């Protein structure tokens, strides 16, 4: 899982920034609504922690999706799939080698 350490470090950095920002914003707002600053700090700390955990979790989830579904990895092939556009199937290979396909490719190449 080489993707994990990269996305974990991104999540920790941006999660810390998000948590600190959420804490500051919530504390400045809660000071006006609670009688003591201790209550305001407590609620703001909870909100900052939620923001931190949310950002770390979303960064790890997006890292998983990117590394497993968006960026192809030849070592992790599923049975029956290939990265050659399906040309391992003999029927698709025949179609790709047909003269009609070659004429269309040649015509497209001449236009460009």
- pLDDT tens, 44-94? 999 999 999 999 999 999 999 888 888 766 565 555 555 555 445 555 555
Q: Which element (helix H / strand E) includes 65?
A: helix 37-65
More confident residue, 98 or 95: 98
Residue 49 C-beta-side C-alpha neighbours within 13 Å: 6
DSSP codes of every residue in 74-112: GGGPPTT--SSTTTTSHHHHHHHTSHHHHHHHHHHHHH-
Nearest residue to 27 via CA among 45, 6, 50: 45
Query: Residue 18: its pLDDT value, please?
Result: 97
Segment 17-58, tens digit of pLDDT: 999 999 999 999 999 999 999 999 999 999 999 999 999 999
Query: Residue 52: its pLDDT value, please?
Result: 98
pTM summary value = 0.63
Chain centre distance of CA 77: 20
First to last CA, the chain: 42
């Amino acid at each position: 899982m080489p993707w994990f350490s990269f996305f974990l470090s991104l999540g920790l950095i941006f999660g810390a920034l998000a948590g600190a920002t959420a804490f500051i914003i919530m504390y400045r707002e809660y000071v006006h609504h609670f009688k003591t600053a201790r209550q305001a700090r407590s609620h703001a700390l909870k909100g900052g922690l939620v923001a931190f955990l949310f950002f770390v979790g979303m960064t790890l989830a997006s890292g998983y999706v990117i590394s497993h579904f968006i960026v192809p990895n030849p070592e992790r092939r599923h049975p029956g799939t290939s990265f050659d556009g399906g040309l391992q199937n003999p029927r698709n290979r025949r179609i790709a080698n047909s003269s009609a396909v070659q004429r269309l490719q040649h015509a497209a190449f001449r236009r460009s």
